[in-house]
Amino acid sequence: MDASEAVEYVRKDVHDTAVAELEQAKAHIAALQDDIGIHRAAEEMQIALREKAEERVQAHVEQLNYAIVDAKRCAAALAFPSNYNAADYQSFAKDVMSNIEALSKQEPMNSLARRDAIKQAEALDDAAEGFESQNRHFIAAQSLRKSAAYLRQQAEAKQ
């Protein structure tokens, strides 16, 4: 092999190595972009979960406010019997007491923990579905589905 053939051989070898490294870098960049997309989707899901949690808490507070208003009406009927026909308020008062009793039996921490576990399980299922729809990361999708099932079991235990 003469010098020009040796130079050409080395040049081709260096070129082939550079092309292979470039292809590996492109594949790595594509995988990182996929990961960024997955993280963005997960972040959006977390934001949606927080918004739903806030809505549920607001709904619970609204229920409590209605119960307080109803209880005030019953108290007014008792405090000022000449202004109200107490007989008209008996069934209403029973309903109010029943509602207040039901609200008082709710364990906010358990119901919040249960709701959170269910929402996390839903988010994991959504993420697994995303993996599966891209025909990628089947092992990760299976792991997410197992975690979702476990969270659902925990939520059922908190009932």
Tens-digit pLDDT profile for residues 120-156: 888 888 887 777 777 667 777 777 878 888 888 877 7
- Whether the predicted pLDDT of 107 surpasses 80: no
> What pTM did the predictor assign?
0.44
Range of the domain at 87: 42-157
Q: What is the mean pLDDT of the chain?
A: 79
- Whether the predicted pLDDT of 83 surpasses 70: yes
pLDDT of amino acid 88: 74
Which of 9-23, 41-55, 78-92 reaches the highest mean pLDDT? 9-23
Which position has the higher pLDDT, 91 or 108?
A: 91
* Residues whose CB is less than 8 angstroms from the CB of residue 126 and which lie 6 or more positions away in sequence, other chains included: 45
Which position has the higher pLDDT, 46 or 114?
A: 46
- Averaged over 104-133, what is the pLDDT? 73
Predicted confidence band of residue 158 (pLDDT cuts 50, 70, 90)? low
pLDDT of amino acid 6: 82
The gap from C-alpha 141 to its chain's centroid, in whole angstroms, comes to 16
Minimal CA–CA distance to 101: which of 58, 69, 71? 71
Does residue 47 fall inside a structural domain? Answer: yes
Does residue 25 fall inside a structural domain? Answer: no
Total domain count, the chain: 1
Range list of H helices, the chain: 3-79, 86-105, 108-133, 138-157
- Whether the predicted pLDDT of 19 surpasses 60: yes
